[in-house]
Amino acid sequence: MILPPATLGMLGGGQLGRFFVSAAHEMGYKVWVLDPDPHSPAGLLADHHLVAAYDDYVALDAMAAECAAVTTEFENVPADTLDYLAKFIPVHPSASAVAVCQNRIAEKSFLAENEVPHGPFAIIRCEDDLRGAADELFPAVLKIARFGYDGKGQARVASRDEALAAFQHFKGEPCVLEKMLKLDYEVSVVLARDEAGTVCCFAAGENRHRNGILDITVAPAQASPFVTEAVQLRAQDIAERLAGKLGYIGTLGVEFFVCGGELFVNEMAPRPHNSGHHTIDACDASQYEQQVRALCGLPLALPRQHSIAVMVNLLGELWYEDFKGHGSYREPDWSVLHAVPGLRLHLYGKHHARPGRKMGHFTVTGDNGDQVLALALQARAAIGISDE
């Protein structure tokens, strides 16, 4: 076990890293953050912020010398960086697990090889691959294999010609072409797995998106009017099996499409997940505490959820006069949210808001699912989030 007051390393300085730093500090650890952004949210809280690129070996050597173990909050950290650090100190999750999750071609191939339910897809490396793709795949979504998230690097394509145009727009980057499924709804599972293979799953959450970005999570999912307990348990079972196949150590998020009552894995995130933010306020131990525990070889906590929760993302357009990213720039009226019973506001300390950027979230908790959801939707509207 790695015990306090040891120093832990975090690759990536976003909000997920910020919550990790907070959890680690509460447990008695120090944290070094490596992130090239001098204003990174996690770096602002860290005991030391290495402002450097992820392939800066001087910075990596400093981290290896000072930290007892290293983890990540950002799936696009180069696998070579994780491999390099693993020569000196424990690194969880491993480079091999992250490499699968950070590349959609590797990820879809992994799902197919392990007979995990997934939607029809084709690997696209050149225009001829698109010309040869099955007609049954259309309409589809074309997604670049690397560095796409929150709807970026994706295009809905109704036909082969549209797909070819989108591929050219992506400058020939390797892609996957995924058949557009008729969704009932979406769910996700966040879990933690330790070196002994012990897995602790949080209850699945039902996710609702706007413009390709997560908007609302209802947890547990069966508090939603759409989700059955059977779907939740099946999602947890598949997520646990995936973690085992990856040999995963740490906190893992798995997103699912539910179509006709059947589950299909959409993608995996080798880190805490946006849909698991509610665990800070609604569970005995958060997904970030579990990340610390798995990294340090501590026993995983039993993630009992003591309250029904609805989490709402706060995006950068709220900081503009018209609530759409235009007009004068000003701070939202947070008193509107602080007045709501059972609501907890979390702001990430990012230095500039822009449309689509995750700037914070709030979570409403309570005992009655209908009331919690109604309160969260009312607060969401009151702060200026519309359904348009």
Sign of CA dihedral 361, 205, 287, 245: negative
186 is an annotated ligand-binding site residue: yes
> Is residue 22 helix, strand or coil?
helix
Q: Is 73 annotated as a binding residue?
A: no
Strand pairing category for 69-72 and 7-11: parallel
Is 143 marked as binding a ligand?
yes
Q: Reduce the DSSP state of residue 263 to 3 states and report it.
A: strand
Ligand-binding annotation for 150, yes or no, is yes
What is the distance between the alpha carbons of residues 320 and 329, in angstroms, rounded to a whole number?
Answer: 5
Q: Which residues contact 225 (CB under 8 A, 6 or more apart)?
A: none
H-only helix segments in the chain = 15-26, 41-45, 57-66, 79-86, 95-101, 104-113, 127-131, 160-169, 229-246, 279-282, 287-296, 335-338, 369-382
Evaluate the CA torsion angle 336, 339, 343, 348 in order and state its sign: positive
Nearest CA to 375 out of 150, 223, 179 is that of 223
Return phi, psi of residue 168, to 5°: -65, -40
What span, in angstroms and rounded, lies between the C-alpha atoms of 336 and 32?
35
211 is in an annotated binding site: no
State yes or no: 181 annotated in a binding site. Answer: yes
CA diameter of the chain: 58
Question: Which two tokens mark 224?
Answer: 């939603």
Q: Please indicate if the annotation marks 104 as binding a ligand.
A: yes
* 178 labelled binding-site residue: yes
- Is 267 annotated in a binding site? The answer is yes
Q: Take residue 271 and report the two structure tokens written for it.
A: 């880190």
| Residue bearing tokens 């699945």 | 204
Residues annotated in a binding site for ATP? 104, 143, 148-154, 178-181, 186, 209, 266-267
Residues annotated in a binding site? 104, 143, 148-154, 178-181, 186, 209, 266-267
